[in-house]
Amino acid sequence: MIVPMKKVTIITQEKDADSAVKTLGQAGVLHVEHQRLPEGKDINDIQNDLEVIRKAIAILRKIEVKTKSYKEKEIGDFRFRARHVIDLEDRIGRLTEYSSATKKEIEKWKPWGDFDPAEIGALAEKNIYASLYKLPARGLGGFPGDAIVRKISAERGMANCVVISRRKIEMPFKELALPKLGISKMRARLAQDDKVIEMVKKDLKEQVSYISALVKVEKSLTEDLDMQKAASGMGRAGSITYLRGYIPYDAVSALMETAKREKWGISVKDPSPEDRVPTLIRNPKWISIIAPVFRMIEVVPGYHEFDTSLWFLVFLSVFFGMLIGDAGYGGIFFALTAFFHAKLGKKMPDKSPFILFYTLSLFAIIWGALTGTFFGQAWLAGIVKPLMPALRDNKNIQALCFLIGALHLSIGHVWKAVVKLPSPKALADLGWAAILWGAFFLAKTLILGENFPTFGKWFFICGPILVVVFTDLKRNVFKSIGFGLGNLLLNVVNSFTDVVSYIRLFAVGLATVAIADAFNKMAMSVGYSSVLSGFLTSIILIIGHALNILLGPLAVLVHGVRLNVLEFANHVDIKWSGFLYKPLKEEK
């Protein structure tokens, strides 16, 4: 649920402003709303430090994944350590770029053989000129008589030639600029650079020992920055300063006690509709496992909107099962989750991502058991029996998709109706729910060829009447009916298409099974008659099923999340316009 918030204004004397900010930071409940733009040298300095530290942490994070074990070390001067990490990364980049350029130079001059450009320059001082040209292989004549032309090599109809003379010769061809080094010296330089790169990489790898300390410093600096911004952004009126923000309703009494003890002036009131109130969501632990998905897709409901966590979790689990569509894949996802839980669980204080993936994997296993699908179905036909054979019929699954769509979307309208009670406006949302169920029966008739039930017409009679009459009761009767009619005409077609859009669950799930089945048939056509055929069969099965396992979560993200974030959210009027509650906080 979205926690109700209170708008708080705290008033202090200017001399006590910093002390008040520090006390509020230790309380950790006030989401600050700046009264003016926070600025100042201290803020700029902390922001610069944070930029350097975060860049260093990002560099070390990439190396940490490849580092099996390391001993954490005390950081000392964090600025020196962070800049050292960045300098090492930059040095590796420069050396790698230079090495790449050197390799290209070696390939460019390899046809000319190994020579020392400095010796050619020394000859010029003695009036012996050696110039390099690329000339047409068939036209090497036409040079002055005192010039000696020697072909070094030829490629693609062009000859690499050296022209030697006692004077500078004007040629109709462009002379090649000499390299700075000969090939042998370039190779020596390349080998030396490779050694330096390895040394720098080793040094950078050793810096991973400081990553935990850098993360702690980054957290501390972030808190310091928030504190500095809070102090700088306070409102001022003469010798009086005031801090304004939002706190959860159940933190008011504790803040009032703090204000009394610190002798602050304090005002607590309900936010107005114009206020930008942060969103704080609290749910039971079993519902909160869906929170990582919201963080990943970066959506937050507005303060005056609904918290969809429960329905998001329930229907995403169902969607995951249908889109993955295979008990074998579900088992692999479950095993992978268990592996990463054992490997990374101790480092992660929040275990909800693991619990979520256990749940999603179980739904894939359940759906696979119901349909008898284990790593594709054709090769196990006759061995694995579906628990619900009706789900092997495509028409039944399509009907189930329409049913899930009507149920999912109508839940949103019933929810809105309950919130609006006892206002008669609730009847308009019940009208939309009726239209959705009419759309469900219509979809079965138009797409699946089933007979439209006789009672179905009442959904299209009662639903529109409720929408037209009760959508907007603030206007007079005629304006209210006109507004409701306009709303009906704009959205009734959308209701039908939204219900039909849930057929994507069938289509993508069917595609997953079809891909698995195709690779199974391909593998079985090769067979296990010999070692080579057995090897090829295994490779085909591994590649095919690995492809499905990789694409499965992507399908869930594209389709399963979309049905919750777009279709369902539209019917509940959720615009995802919110921003997270982030209280001012300083470690004691």
pLDDT of residue 45: 92
Mean pLDDT of the 389-412 span: 92
The residue type found at 235 is G
Task: Calculate Rg over the CA atoms of the chain.
Answer: 36
In the prediction, which pLDDT does 50 show? 94
Structural contact between residues 20 and 243, judged by C-beta atoms closer than 8 angstroms:
yes
Q: What is the pLDDT of residue 472?
A: 66
**Measured CA distances, 381 to 371, 453, 479 (Å):** 12, 36, 63
pLDDT > 80? residue 12? yes
- Whether residue 302 is found in the same domain as residue 428: no
- Whether 276 is in a domain gets the answer no
On whether both 375 and 305 belong to a single domain, the answer is yes
334 and 473 housed in the same domain: no
Q: Are residues 418 and 490 located together in one domain of the fold?
A: yes
Tens digit of each residue's pLDDT (9 = 90 or more) over 335-347: 999 999 998 888 7
Mean pLDDT of 100-120: 90
pLDDT grade for 524, boundaries at 50, 70 and 90:
confident
Is pLDDT above 60 for 575?
yes
Where among 483, 501, 519 does a domain terminate? 501
In this structure, is residue 358 part of a structural domain? yes
Instruction: Mark whether 29 and 121 lie in a shared domain.
Output: no
Q: What is the pLDDT of residues 424-475, one digit of tens each?
A: 888 989 998 999 999 999 999 999 989 999 898 899 888 888 888 777 655 5
Q: Where is mean pLDDT largest: 63-72, 81-90, 110-119, 449-458?
A: 81-90
Indicate whether 521 pLDDT > 90: no
Same-domain status, 493 and 415: yes
Residues 490, 518 share a domain: no
Q: Rounded to whole angstroms, how far apart are CA atoms 325 and 370?
A: 10
pLDDT value at residue 402: 95
Domain boundary among 158, 181, 204: 181
> In the chain, how many domains are there?
4
Residues 332 and 375 reside in one and the same domain: yes
Q: Residue 311 has what pLDDT?
A: 94
The reply to whether 85 falls in a domain is no
Task: Tell me the pLDDT band of 139, cut-offs 50, 70 and 90.
Answer: low
Point out the least confidently predicted range of 107-111, 146-150, 554-558, 577-581: 146-150
Residue 353, domain extent: 285-392+504-571
Query: 46 in a domain, yes or no?
Result: yes
Q: What is the mean pLDDT of residues 518-535?
A: 78
Q: Mean pLDDT across the stretch 255-265?
A: 92
Give the end of a domain, one of 471, 501, 531: 501
Judge whether residue 195 has pLDDT over 60.
yes
pLDDT of residue 198: 93
- Print burial letters for 519-532: b (CB count within 10 Å at least 16), e (below 16): bbeebeebeeeeee
Residue 581 has pLDDT above 90, yes or no: yes
Give yes or no for residue 281 having a pLDDT over 90. Answer: yes
Query: Across the chain, what does the average pLDDT equal?
Result: 87
Residue 129 lies in a domain: yes
Decide if pLDDT at 477 tops 60.
no
* Residue matched to tokens 């959720």: 574
Residue 458 included in any domain: yes
CA nearest neighbour of 183 among 120, 238, 114: 114
pLDDT tens digits, residue range 197-206?
A: 999 999 999 8
Strand order in the sheet with 129-136: 129-136, 158-165, 148-155
Residue 67 backbone zone (phi > 0: left; psi -120 to 50: alpha; other: beta): beta
Q: What is the pLDDT of residues 284-317, one digit of tens each?
A: 999 999 999 999 989 999 999 999 999 999 999 9
Shared-domain flag, residues 15 and 57? yes
User: Residue 161: which pLDDT band, with cuts at 50, 70 and 90?
Assistant: confident
> Residue 374: its pLDDT value, please?
86
Q: What is the pLDDT of residue 372?
A: 85
> pLDDT (tens digit, 9 = 90+) per residue, 487-507?
566 677 788 888 999 999 998
172-200: string of b/e by CB count within 10 Å (b at 16+)? eeeebebbebbbeebeebbeebeeebeeb
Block residue for tokens 């260093």: 56
Give the mean pLDDT of 355-376.
91
In DSSP terms, which residues pair with 242 in a beta bridge? 11, 235
Residue 257, pLDDT score: 93
82 domain residue, yes or no: no
Whether residues 262 and 312 share a domain: the answer is no
Q: Do 428 and 457 belong to one domain?
A: yes
- Identify the residue with better confidence: 394 or 524: 394
Q: Are 443 and 500 in contact (CB under 8 A)?
A: yes
Do the strands 31-33 and 240-248 form a parallel or antiparallel pair, or are they unpaired?
antiparallel
43 occurs within a structural domain: yes
pLDDT digits (tens, 9 = 90+) for 168-188: 777 777 888 889 899 999 999
Average confidence (pLDDT) over 148-160: 85
Residue 481 has pLDDT above 80, yes or no: no
pLDDT tens digits, residue range 80-96? Answer: 999 999 999 999 999 99
Based on the domain organization, do 525 and 385 belong to the same domain? yes
